[in-house]
Chains A and B, each alone.
Chain A
Amino acid sequence: MHTHTAMSPSVPLQEMIRAIRSARTQCEERGVIQRECAAIRAQFRQADNGGRSHNLAKLLYVHMLGYPAHFGQMECVRMIASPRYSEKRVGYLGAMMLLDEKQDASLLITNSIKNDLSHSNQYVQSLALCTLACMGSAEMCRDLAPEIDRLLRASNSYIKKKAALCAVHIVRKVHELGELFVPAARSLLSEKNHGVLHGAVVLIIELCEQNPETLERFRKTVPDLVQIMKGLVLSGYSPEHDVAGISDPFLQVRILRLLRILGRNNEGASDSMNDLLAQVATNTDSTKTVGNAVLYETVLTVLDIKSESGLRVLAVNILGRFLLNNDRNIRYIAMTSLQKIVGTDHNAVQRHRGTIVDCLKDQDASVKRRALELSLALVSASNIRSMMKELLLFLSSCPPELRAHAASGIFNAAERYAPSQRWHIDTMLHVLITAGGDVRDETVPNLIQLITNASELHCYTVHKLYRALLLDISQQSLVQVACWCIGEYGDLLLKGDCQETEPVQVTEDDALDALETVLQSHMSSPATRGFALTATMKLSTRITDNVDRIRSIVSIYGSCIDVELQQRAVEYNALFRKYDHMRAAVLERMPVIEKNSPGHTNGESTGEAVKDVPTAKMKQGEPLLLQQPANQVCDLLDLLGGSEETLQPGPAVDCLVSGLSVHAAGTAGGDLLDLLGGFEPAELSPAPQVLAYDKGGVTLTLSCEKQSDTGLTVTLTASNSSDSDLSSFTLQAAVPKSVQLHMKAPSGDSLPARGTAKVTQMVVLNNPNKVNLKMRVRVSYTRQGSPFQDTVQIDSFPGLDAAGQ
């Protein structure tokens, strides 16, 4: 342990580090550091004593351990201003570690940087350049940009290369300054020094990405770039830049990137680089990672520009070879690249399907994830059976974080390409048995709807589900579907004979036992128990001997603590007692449930969980029946109970009953609801939608509804079909002066990739002067950390005439 007074000489850096490391506990370490910091602080206050750089270095070490070091900021400023190189060096390092552009103290070093940029010693200049590129604020960049430009033109290679990357930082911070560096960047391409060349290429890439006009101008450099690349690829061994036989792979990859940017969407440029790319693709040694890095960049470039088909095939074949590589990293990036082109070059990627599917069995989680994504993208009508086998196999052993995604991918694939209903049902059951805990809530209604549609398979399905239920009642989604089926098709279950499966005798008690087990199990969720209770009730009209057992179950649950179950039980009790004559009709077989649109299943479009109470506004009539069969019954009873006094007994009730049975057996449940008149009629015809904006994968559609003579409600719906998620998505609107505008809160502010969810926002307009209605909408969002904004003008509104009336 060391003791310090303000006057003692500073402990050298390494001794302090040793002292800290020898501390045995966190507490001891804190003690040592506190003492050291106190000494350092005291030393800072003293006049120049030759040990200042050591002191600051000690503070920086302490900072790296996670302790506060802000009191060193001013010392950094002082050290940077010192004439001694050793002090400047540590001072600038401290500035880069302790200061950032948000701190006020960073402004104080601007002057020092300015001076040091024109210092006579290049190593001092280099410190200034490095620090500016690391933490230069927009102001500092604006201030010092001309100086950097000067250094880009007239200095030695050592400074030029640093100035080039410094310019890159400046351009990233202040886009408008890009214009300043264009001439210098152009001329740097004729330098021989690799460091300078590399910096120049990076700078040009940045300039082109910022400004499309600049990109046009730099297209003329393609021949020069091709020449430089050729030199690198074909030249002999150059010891200074060689990495495992590749000459300067860093520069090669950067040039390939620039070529990609210049060749994109441009036939001429793409043509002139065709031969070179073919050469690189065939000549680069692929035995080591470094060669593969260059090949990888080449492939990415070929696939992104307008390359001729032969070259494209070559590129995809390289990816195919990568897939067979022993190195996991290579397999991983091969799949990432194939994923990007699976839409455009689907057949080419299909050729490698076998290898991709094998990667599902890889030990590595990252590789598995990529393989899953790609496999799902490759499923088609012709390979659905074999692919599904592999996917189901994968599901049974896949890591937990991938299960939900795998399950939903399998459902989508099954939905699109199912070769038969029985296969579809079998597949969905398999998923529920394997991964029932990871599927989305709407899977249950989706599967039920599917089952009702496959009428000839009802017997088979209920037998299969019954057997699954006997084995395992922990998977809630599976149990819910099984209960529903047993309740609905209990009569088929009890009949025993079924063509598709082995005959097995199920007695009424067996069926009731199964349902009661679910009811009583602590593993069953409240929703599941609701399903089981309703199913038990339904069986009362499908069995003959054990109705009393059902009666007693139902009456027991009349005092259940769970309010939902209690309500159901009480109402079923009532159905047994007061309304026994209606029981048969009420519990009759459900009609076939229609799908609301192709490719969409009920739950997904509304996103409601099974447990939702039907008082929520309905969009279509049918799902209500499915989701809350019990509540349906309850509401029926409520209405009948409430209006008992007004209804004529006898004939009127019979009429209602017969009315019910007619409708229940016949068409969609929407009519049933209409008959009772208890709910709003479903809005079946959607308002006309118009596409107002479509850029970068983001689409905006709008639909309108006239509310009154001057009032109008516009609904804006945004969707994102690109591959990256968007966040902070906001819409702003502006209208002509006399029009009043009120924007309601949007449904959300994030747009996930590939259109998995939409954002809607309502805008209420009032146009009292009946002017020509126009609206300007500004779209803003953040994509991968970068903000983006765009504006679109909407001149015509669907549903209104040309004058906007």
Chain B
Amino acid sequence: MPMRFLLLFSRQGKLRLQKWFTPLTDREKKKVIRDVMALVLARPPRSCNFLHWRDIKVVYKRYASLYFCTGLEDQDNELLTLEVLHRYVELLDKYFGNVCELDIIFNFEKAYYILDEFLMGGEVLETSKVAVSVSMENADTLQETMEEYMNRPAF
């Protein structure tokens, strides 16, 4: 039932984010990345967003220069997964303001934090866009507050 992984990669095959929801060895992860990337990048435009690889269904969607790609089990709802990918893009967009690939490259840890407020264990964690944004704001504030506090010169 859960998603098995989430990958973000560019048209040139550069990986920008990888989240794994099942335990795999480094070697296995590299194989998945290589194979799935090759399959997805070979697809002509305006293709169906679903394809099969081994025993999993791959759902992918291209947003500007980035491919958002996930692997599903046989039972899962592909159409809803497209919505999940779209929601993640919207969250990134809200956070970064007109998000582009460079934002995700230079602030990759933020992309992960946002993902972790939206998905957990391969399942959707929070279905409200607002709630995720609020959590991120609060967590960021907490981080800055702590840093300010730590950096304040001691008299």
Q: Is A202 touching B48 in the complex (CB atoms < 8 A)?
A: no
Q: Is A293 touching B80 in the complex (CB atoms < 8 A)?
A: yes
A121 interface residue per 8 A CB criterion: yes
CB-contacts of B89-124 with A (<8 A): 105-106, 108-109, 112-113, 116, 120-121, 123-124
**Residues in B neighbouring A241, C-beta threshold 8 A:** 127-128
Bound-state CA distance A102–B20 (Å) is: 14
Q: List the A residue with the shortest CB-CB distance to B105.
A: A17
B77 interface residue per 8 A CB criterion: yes
Interface string of B52-75 (1 = CB under 8 A from A): 100100000000000000000110
Closest chain-B Cβ to A394's Cβ sits at a distance in Å of 17
**Residues in A neighbouring B125, C-beta threshold 8 A:** 161-162, 165, 195, 198-199
Bound-state CA distance A347–B77 (Å) is: 25
B35 interface residue per 8 A CB criterion: no
Closest chain-A Cβ to B109's Cβ sits at a distance in Å of 5
A168 interface residue per 8 A CB criterion: yes
Q: Is B121 touching A168 in the complex (CB atoms < 8 A)?
A: yes
Q: Of A128-136, A376-384, A660-668, A696-704, which binds chain B?
A: A128-136
Kindly identify which residue among A121, A126, A293 contacts B77, using a CB–CB cutoff of 8 Å: A293
Q: Is B121 touching A289 in the complex (CB atoms < 8 A)?
A: no
Q: Is B55 touching A724 in the complex (CB atoms < 8 A)?
A: yes
Kindly identify which residue among A86, A166, A248, A293 contacts B79, using a CB–CB cutoff of 8 Å: A293
Q: List the B residue with the shortest CB-CB distance to A328.
A: B48
**Residues in B neighbouring A130, C-beta threshold 8 A:** 116, 120
Kindly identify which residue among A85, A165, A168 contacts B146, using a CB–CB cutoff of 8 Å: A85
Size class of B's contact patch? 35 or more
Bound-state CA distance A84–B146 (Å) is: 7
Q: Of A249-257, A516-524, A537-545, A789-797, which binds chain B?
A: A249-257
CB-contacts of A267-301 with B (<8 A): 289-290, 292-293, 296-297, 300
Q: Is B120 touching A162 in the complex (CB atoms < 8 A)?
A: yes
Closest chain-B Cβ to A211's Cβ sits at a distance in Å of 15
Q: Of A57-65, A71-79, A312-320, A645-653, which binds chain B?
A: A57-65
**Residues in B neighbouring A121, C-beta threshold 8 A:** 142
**Residues in B neighbouring A93, C-beta threshold 8 A:** 109, 112-113
Q: List the A residue with the shortest CB-CB distance to B139.
A: A123
Q: Is B124 touching A198 in the complex (CB atoms < 8 A)?
A: yes
B12 interface residue per 8 A CB criterion: no
CB-contacts of A315-338 with B (<8 A): 328-330, 332-333
Q: Is B135 touching A240 in the complex (CB atoms < 8 A)?
A: no
Q: Is B127 touching A251 in the complex (CB atoms < 8 A)?
A: yes
Kindly identify which residue among B30, B55, B127 contacts A195, using a CB–CB cutoff of 8 Å: B127
Kindly identify which residue among A60, A84, A133 contacts B109, using a CB–CB cutoff of 8 Å: A60
**Residues in B neighbouring A13, C-beta threshold 8 A:** 106
A89 interface residue per 8 A CB criterion: yes
A183 interface residue per 8 A CB criterion: no
Closest chain-B Cβ to A261's Cβ sits at a distance in Å of 10
CB-contacts of A328-386 with B (<8 A): 328-330, 332-333, 364-367
Closest chain-A Cβ to B131's Cβ sits at a distance in Å of 6
Bound-state CA distance A804–B114 (Å) is: 67
CB-contacts of B1-56 with A (<8 A): 1, 15-18, 21, 23-25, 30, 46-52, 55
**Residues in B neighbouring A100, C-beta threshold 8 A:** 23-24
**Residues in A neighbouring B130, C-beta threshold 8 A:** 240
Q: Is A85 touching B142 in the complex (CB atoms < 8 A)?
A: yes
Q: Is B25 touching A102 in the complex (CB atoms < 8 A)?
A: yes
A90 interface residue per 8 A CB criterion: yes
Closest chain-A Cβ to B144's Cβ sits at a distance in Å of 8
Closest chain-B Cβ to A365's Cβ sits at a distance in Å of 8
Add 11 more A-B contacts to A17-B106, A89-B139, A195-B131 (CB < 8 A): A14-B106, A50-B151, A66-B30, A121-B142, A206-B1, A290-B79, A293-B77, A328-B46, A333-B50, A366-B47, A724-B74
- Which A residues are closer than 8 A to B by beta carbons? 13-14, 17, 21, 50, 57, 60-61, 64-66, 84-86, 89-90, 93, 100-102, 121, 123, 126, 129-130, 133-135, 158, 161-162, 165-166, 168-169, 194-195, 198-199, 202, 205-206, 209, 240-241, 243, 248-251, 253-254, 257, 289-290, 292-293, 296-297, 300, 328-330, 332-333, 364-367, 724-725, 784-785
